[in-house]
Structures are given as C-alpha cells and as structure tokens.
Structure 1
Amino acid sequence: MKVTWKRLLTLSLLSITTMSWANTDGLTLENCHLGEIRSQVKCGKLEVPENYQKPDGDKITINFAVLPAIDDSEYKVPLMFLAGGPGQAAVELATGLNQVFREVRKTRDIILVDQRGTGESHPLSCDLEEEGSVYSTLTEDFKESDIVDCISQFEGDLSQFNSENAIRDFDSIRAALDHKKLNVYGGSYGTRAALVYMRMFPESLESVVLDSVGPIEVPIGLFGQSVARSFNLLIENCKKSESCNRAFPNVADEFDEVKARLAKAPVILDIQHPRLGTPTQFKLDDSKFTNNLRMQLYSMGGRSLVPLIINQAYLGNYEPLIGLMASTEGEQQVYTGLHFNIVCNEDAPKISAEMRAKDAKNSFDNAVSSDLIFDRICSLFPQYRPSDSFYQPVTADIPTLILSGNLDPVTPPSNGDYSAKSLPNSHHIIVENASHTVAMNTCANRIINEFLTSKSPNKLDESCLKEVPQETFMTSVNGIQ
C-alpha cells in the first residue's frame, strides 16, 4: 500500500498483433504479447459508464488482459487478479503474475484488469518534473503546487474513480467475457476490492483469496504500530540468528542512535540521481531514514539487509542505504492520483486525531508520512462520499482463503483475523516466516491452486508452509558470513 508523491513512469508492455474481435457491447479482444511472457495472450478494452448512475453519460475505457489456460480442454472458472496500492495496474504486473500463478494457469484463464485510474484505464497520471524521486518524498521536500498542477491535468469526474465503481467495472468485464462466475485473488488493497466485490456481487464469485488483508473497516494509512511490530520481530530474529547477532549485537541501540543523530543534524550527501544519472544532493534526516527502512520490511529480501544498513549508518557509512533506495526507484508502479483520490475519500475521513496520535506512539517512527497525507495532500483533493453500506463488515458465505505473513509491516495477521470473524466459510493461514503478499514469495501459490479446485478452505495441505525458512540476514557487503 506504499506510495510516494513523484512522477511515476508508465511503461507500455503491449505488442499488439493484427487479429482482433469485437462485439456490440463495447468489448474488443486482441491477440497480444505482454512483457516477458513468451506465449501469446489476449488484450482487451471494454467501454463502461464513467458514472453508473448515468449509463447514457460519459464513457471510459477499461483495459484488461486474459492469460489463457495452457490446457483449455476442460473449462474451469477463471481467476481474476485484483491489484494493490490502491493504484497499481494489474496488466503491468503480468510477467510476475504469470510466474506466481503458473500452476493456476495450467488449467484456468487468469484475468488482469487495470483498475479505473491506472494503466490504460483512463489513468489519473500527470506530467510532473523528471527530478522527482525517492530522495524527495517527505516534509520539507513536499510541494503542494505539484499536487495542484497534477490534479488540474486529470480528466473526468474524480468522484467516480472509487472502489465501488472499480468493482462494477470488474463485474462488467466478467459478464462481457461470458463467465457466469469468477474466482478472485486480491493482495493488499486488492483484498479490500475483493471484499467489496463479495458484498456487491456475491452471485458472481465462486471463491475468494484474500492475501495480506486490508479490511474495509480498517483505514489505510495508520501503519505506525504494525511497522513497529514488524521491525521488532526483525530485531528478535536477528538476535536468534548466530551470524546476525555476532555481527550486530547492538543493532536496536544503533537504530535509536542513528535516528537521534539524524534528527539533530541531517546529513547532506552528494549522490548520482538513480534515474537521470546527474549529480544531485540528498538531505537525509530521521524521517527519510525510517521511511526507507520501512519500505524494506515488505519483502524478505529487503528485511535481510536492514541490520547491515543500520550498522553501516551507525558507523557513518550511508552508501548501503542510498544504494538500496536507488534500487527501489520505480520498482512499485503506483498511479498516485488514484491512490490519493481513494485514500483521501475512503480512509482519511475515518481516522480521528486520537487514532493518529495513538498510532504515532511506537518505537519505530513518528508517523510523518501519514501526517503528510492527512493534513496536506488530502486537503487538495476533490471530495466524494462512499455509499452508506461501504464500511459495513462483509458477511458473504463464499469459500474464502485468507493468507497473512506474520512479519508483515502493514497488514498484520490481526487484520486477517478481523475479516475471518464475519466470513463463515473462511480459513485463515498465518505464515510464520513471511511478510507482505504471501503468495508472491512462498508455496502458498500451490495451496491457492488446490483451493480453487476443492473450494474447501479448511481441508488444504498446508505442510509446505512449515518449511518456509526463518529469515536470514546479510552480515557484510559480501553476504552472510
């Protein structure tokens, strides 16, 4: 669910061939190639109302792709992937998803839809300065004029770019492709989209997978406590690791010392811009230090570097941190306009000053990022109000598999427990040694494939998850020693 306010480059992944089909419902479907997928897939467009309450009014085009089943001799209900963010475009993730869900695709189509406001679905993107980067994301670097200029470039009625209309788009694509039902996988914010889908169109869903749950009732943006929990687990695991504890016996104290040092006297660093290759200066303060460490907690690979980064910063060497920041530049493509349009209208109004103050009382940081969002960014976005039922718990009796990583910094296992309470036909699996979006980095993708076949969330073979190794840590720039 992470995002920074910067220019997000949209890369075209499509190589369209000449063969195409169209129908009178506004659907077009073409053979195409996506990313690094070797086989030919299908790319489509569907025209839908911008405002579903005005079906004869303005239209927008929704972009989607179908990764056809390798063996289509027997029809099986497809799997639709709902992207995270909010603000990720599913079609842009096709290469990685084709690998993650390779077992599923052996016998099922996989449908990827660019949520309205992302990718090629009327994107809420704008032309900001090329210099924007991970190095200028917080506090004094933030310019309200950037957002005002960006919003002025958006076309259409922003109040219609919301979670509920996104689900109407997804179900319209289901119907246009002539599928009576779908299986749905949602990761991170995609779990919220899946929950909204379960409420709005339960008859369209055969089963649901919720991976790293963001319940509708739990606002996006209050991550201080969950990040601190994830970081503290990392420190505990470092202590349990003989090599990590030997190399960094005082890593927790070193973290506190670096924070205090940078809060008192930020460091000015001369660096090469990661994308432009031009010399630039970077002011590193305590907020940027903790914010970039927080980003590493999402993945097991990132977590493995955190003790080393802290230790090197304690010794006055910030190169490992800078290098890691550069390597993540552009890694998570998020359409910032849609992200804030949703968060500022569906989440921020539900967060009280007391909730923010409580979340800020943690051992990791002081919630600068959320203050920036709620106080400054959201005040600039047009306002809309979700439907009255939007925030109510979802109680659909649809077979549901819930996945949580115990080390997750933003969607902790307690979120999965919260949703499971109101879903009578669900099963919650907590993977001890996993972080955010469990299926992307563990054998859970095989369990998902089993679930899609059995539709019995409580009768799955989970044994492979017990074999997921404990997290390991890099103890030098040369690796684990």
Structure 2
Amino acid sequence: MADVQDGRTSSSCYLDGWGDALRCYRIAVGLDATAVELSVTVAPAVNDVGREPLYLLAGGPGQAASDLAPLLNAFRRINRERDIVMVDRRGAGHSAAFRCGFERDMPVDLQSFSRQLARCYLQQPQFAEALSSRQAVEDLELVRKTLAHERIALWGGSWGTRTALLYQQWYPDSLSALVLDAVAPIDTKVFLTATAAERAMQILERDCAGDAVCAGLGNWRGDLDQLLAGWNAEMAARFPDPVTGVPAAIPLPRWALANSIRAALYDPAAAAQLPYAIHQASRGNYLPLSGISGLFLNTADGMAMGLTFSVACAEELNRITAEDVVADSKGSFLGSAFYELFHSGCQGWPVTAKPYSVPESRAQPVLLISGEADPITPPYYAEQALAYLSRKQHLVVPGGGHINSRRGCIPELIARFLNAPESPLDQSCVAEIRRPPFMADAFGPALGGKLGGEPQGGGL
C-alpha cells in the first residue's frame, strides 16, 4: 500500500534476507541517457526517538545496497532507535543495474571477457561515462534531502568506505559519524591487491602452524607455490567443474585459479579449507580446491559489471602504473592475476579519468574495522592512510577476512559507537573472535583433534 508523507511517496516492500516490512521509495535522478529512478529502501526504527538514520553503502564498486539486507539482522540493536537506509546507487540493483550479461556466464578467457565488455559499453556509452563516485555521492545527498534527514551516519563496506570517505569530503555538514569496514582510503590504490593477498596468506600459514590438525598437513604453502608455478594446459584441462565434478568444458587458466584462491581468503570459513584443499591438489586431487572455487561462482551475480568498470577504470586503473604492478606482484602467490582482469576489461571500457582531490582534514568521529587477514584492504590501509581524520578508533579482528561487521561482538560495538561516538570503546571482546576450525579431511574439521585419513574420493 502506498503512503504519502511530506510529499514523498513510499510503499511497503520486502528484501531477501530480512523478514520484516520495509518502506520503499523511487526517486528520479539524471537526464536523458543517464536518467533513472533510484531505489531507496528504509528499515524504519522500531522506536523513533529522533536519532540520526544510518545509511548503508555497498562495495564492489557494483554491488547494490539492497543486497545488504541480511546485515540488518546483525544491526537489530541499531535499528531499534534508528532508521536504516539502503540506496541502490545509479547503475546497480534496482536502480537500472548495468550488468552486461555476466550474471549468466563469466568468461575465463580474458580476451573474450574484454570483447563482451566492449560490446556492452557500446550499448550505453553515455551511461557508462556518467557513472562515478561523484555522481553516487550527489545522488546520496539528494536522497538525504528528499527524506528530510538533517544529518546522517554512514556505514560503508569495502568500496562503500571509499564512497563514504568521499561523501565526508564533499558534504561534511550532512554527516554525523562514519563506520568503515574494510577501509579503501581515497588515495590508496586498492586494486593493487597482490601484496595484501600475500600477507593474508602468510597469516593463514601462521595460524595453521599453531593448529595441531592443520600443521599435520605439512608444507602446503610450498605445495601452493609449486602448483601455481607449474600450472599447465594438461592440469587446466583436468580441473573439475565445481558443480558437476567432471573436467570443465573450458580449461581453467592460471590467473583464474590464483584469483579463486585469493577470493577464499575473503571468508575465514573458506580460508580454513585452503590448506587441506591445496595439500590434496598437490597430490592430483583437485576436487576440494574446485569445491572452494565453487563457493564464489555467483560473485558476478551481485555485481553490476558496467558500473564496476565505469568506476574502476576511471578512478583506479588509470592511476596504476606498470611499475606499480611489478612492485606489488613481487614475491606473491597472486602475482598480477587480479590486475590482469581489470586491465583487460578497461581496454574495452574507454571512460575518461576522474581523479580525486587530496583529502582535507575532517573531524567527524570514525570507527574503522579491519580483518587482520583481509586480502584486499588490510589493517595498515586504515592505520597509514587516514591521518586527515582527527577522531578515529580502529578495531582489528584476529584472523578476520574481508568485512567483519557481523562477527562476534562487532555489531554491539558499532551500536555503542553510534550512540556515543566520542567515547572510547572497550575493545577487549574483539580479541575473543576466533577463526573457524581448519578442515582436516573430506568430511570437514577434525573431531577430537586428530587428523583424518586420506579421502577415498569425493570433494568437500
């Protein structure tokens, strides 16, 4: 049923991952080829006591804020007294998603990938050129005014932290506080990921060595280095499809294998399976490693790839040099595999560069959250690149991967911060957060602390 308040029309709606009724708005933005209706979803406060709303900013770039609905479960305490607002940025989710067809099939051949992107670009070149972080921030400010919110708090995850930091630069008077999870600072080249991924892998090695079960797998890291160094056409052709378990129709290239291992490091539960899966792969059994790669099969489904490349090519790839790539790749298992995907795609996505200004000092209270073993936005980004923020606190989750707002006591600490952003948080509970148990054999973690026998076949 539609509802009209202060000239704003909304209707009751629902999102996957959240059972309660929400309020949905459609707000027109842009002109001609760039015109869309922004999809805005609000989880109303249970008790409206006048607290500033919390806006959730999604990552990617290319993810929709409406996909963050499951996060509302962790933020129930926040939602008791605050509206939580999700704005699908232009080109994502329900705001004219610019998908390019990759949700149906993601090519593993980089040339095919680049050609498909180029065809997609030619279908909407004006829209592709218009999509940017500046546009997203301007749209967000329009939504704030349309919903009559005097000031707002922002939660950003991954690339959403970049958007939040830019909003803080351009509209500081509209902002009360920020919560930044997996921080991508404005002046950091976050698409150079090899060094961060290698650091995350070394932390996994450290934690595995301290676990009796995982340590029993031997030198699995050496096995990984040999596997990637020796990856050849015969091995690629044998690598199983994660759904069927039989050799995939298209052989798996090395860059895709390395990226699937990097992706597993995002999630501590998946990372806990890597030592066993790599141990098995070094012995010719690729099924466990294929199963892990299958956990991330639908990653492209949640990304509007047209938006992803409009932002990435104009705001990240254009400022990365060949020398940067060499320095970042040196000594890492990933090498240039992640960069190659975006470099190849940007060849067919000719948007103009959109550089940022040097960040100016800002005084809003900021809560930074990092995973100790995050393979793309490591803690040192938050510690070394945000000197212009004068009032910040930093939570580092032991063994944590990418995005930690739902883990352990972190939701409680976020709620406390938003209610009293000037007060130092008691962080002692963060140290109690633990990695999931390491996988011992084909049946999962060990029971009773003993390493299981070699599998007779099968995958995870």
* TM-score past 0.5 threshold: yes
The equivalent of 1:315 in structure 2 is 283
For residues 278-357 of structure 1, the aligned pairs below 5 Å read 280-331=248-299, 333-357=302-326
Secondary structure of 1:71's match?
Answer: coil
Secondary structure of 1:106's match?
Answer: helix
Query: How far is 1:265 from its partner?
Result: 4.3
The equivalent of 2:115 in structure 1 is 145
The equivalent of 1:112 in structure 2 is 86
Q: Is the 8 A contact 1:237 1:471 kept in 2?
A: no
What is the alpha-carbon distance in structure 1 between the residues aligned to residue 378 and residue 118 of structure 2? 34
Secondary structure of 2:10's match?
Answer: strand
The equivalent of 1:241 in structure 2 is 211
Match of 2:3 among 3, 8, 20: 20
Structure 1 residues 62 and 321: alpha-carbon distance in aligned structure 2, compared to 1, 3 A threshold: same
User: TM-score with structure 1 length normalisation?
Assistant: 0.87
Q: Is the 8 A contact 1:400 1:425 kept in 2?
A: yes
The equivalent of 2:200 in structure 1 is 230
Structure 1 residues 273 and 299: alpha-carbon distance in aligned structure 2, compared to 1, 3 A threshold: closer
The alignment status of 1:252 with 2:235, answered yes or no, reads no
Unaligned 5+ runs, structure 2: 447-460
Q: C-alpha deviations, 1:407-464, integer Å up to 9, x for none?
A: 11000111101343110111222222312112132321110100000012x5112121
CA RMSD of aligned residues (A): 2.4
Letter in 1 for 2:143: I
Query: How far is 1:137 from its partner?
Result: 2.8
The equivalent of 1:70 in structure 2 is 46
What is the alpha-carbon distance in structure 2 between the residues aligned to residue 425 and residue 383 of structure 1? 36
Letter in 2 for 1:60: V
The alignment status of 1:91 with 2:72, answered yes or no, reads no
After TM superposition, the structure 1 stretch with the greater mean CA deviation from structure 2, 332-341 or 444-453, is 332-341
Q: Is the 8 A contact 1:215 1:418 kept in 2?
A: no
Q: C-alpha deviations, 1:362-386, integer Å up to 9, x for none?
A: 2312212313422x22122132242
What is the alpha-carbon distance in structure 2 between the residues aligned to residue 50 and residue 419 of structure 1? 37
The equivalent of 1:446 in structure 2 is 412
Letter in 2 for 1:102: R
Letter in 1 for 2:237: I
Letter in 2 for 1:164: R
After TM superposition, the structure 1 stretch with the greater mean CA deviation from structure 2, 97-106 or 278-287, is 278-287
Match of 2:54 among 79, 97, 107: 79
Query: How far is 1:394 from its partner?
Result: 4.1
Secondary structure of 1:157's match?
Answer: helix
Structure 1 residues 22 and 158: alpha-carbon distance in aligned structure 2, compared to 1, 3 A threshold: farther
The equivalent of 1:3 in structure 2 is none
The equivalent of 2:456 in structure 1 is none
Q: C-alpha deviations, 1:289-316, integer Å up to 9, x for none?
A: 2211110000111111110110110111
Letter in 2 for 1:137: V
Residue-pair matches, total: 445
What is the alpha-carbon distance in structure 2 between the residues aligned to residue 58 and residue 23 of structure 1? 27
Secondary structure of 1:266's match?
Answer: helix
What is the alpha-carbon distance in structure 1 between the residues aligned to residue 239 and residue 220 of structure 2? 26
Q: Is the 8 A contact 1:118 1:124 kept in 2?
A: yes
Match of 2:16 among 35, 41, 48: 35
The equivalent of 1:165 in structure 2 is 135
Q: Is the 8 A contact 1:28 1:46 kept in 2?
A: no
Letter in 1 for 2:35: K
Query: How far is 1:278 from its partner?
Result: 11
What is the alpha-carbon distance in structure 2 between the residues aligned to residue 113 and residue 174 of structure 1? 10
Query: How far is 1:273 from its partner?
Result: 7.3
Q: Is the 8 A contact 1:19 1:31 kept in 2?
A: yes
The equivalent of 2:27 in structure 1 is 46
Secondary structure of 1:398's match?
Answer: coil
Query: How far is 1:99 from its partner?
Result: 1.2
Q: Is the 8 A contact 1:267 1:283 kept in 2?
A: yes
Secondary structure of 1:262's match?
Answer: coil
What is the alpha-carbon distance in structure 2 between the residues aligned to residue 182 and residue 377 of structure 1? 36
Unaligned 5+ runs, structure 1: 1-17, 52-56
What is the alpha-carbon distance in structure 2 between the residues aligned to residue 35 and residue 368 of structure 1? 33
Match of 1:480 among 438, 445, 448: 445
Letter in 2 for 1:220: V
What is the alpha-carbon distance in structure 2 between the residues aligned to residue 372 and residue 39 of structure 1? 39
What is the alpha-carbon distance in structure 1 between the residues aligned to residue 323 and residue 34 of structure 2? 41
User: Percent same amino acid among aligned pairs?
Assistant: 29
Structure 1 residues 149 and 278: alpha-carbon distance in aligned structure 2, compared to 1, 3 A threshold: farther
What is the alpha-carbon distance in structure 2 between the residues aligned to residue 97 and residue 356 of structure 1? 34
User: TM-score with structure 2 length normalisation?
Assistant: 0.90
Q: Is the 8 A contact 1:269 1:282 kept in 2?
A: no
Q: C-alpha deviations, 1:44-97, integer Å up to 9, x for none?
A: 11112359xxxxx9632111100111222x121110000000000011221x11
Q: C-alpha deviations, 1:201-224, integer Å up to 9, x for none?
A: 000111011111101111231001
Secondary structure of 1:21's match?
Answer: strand
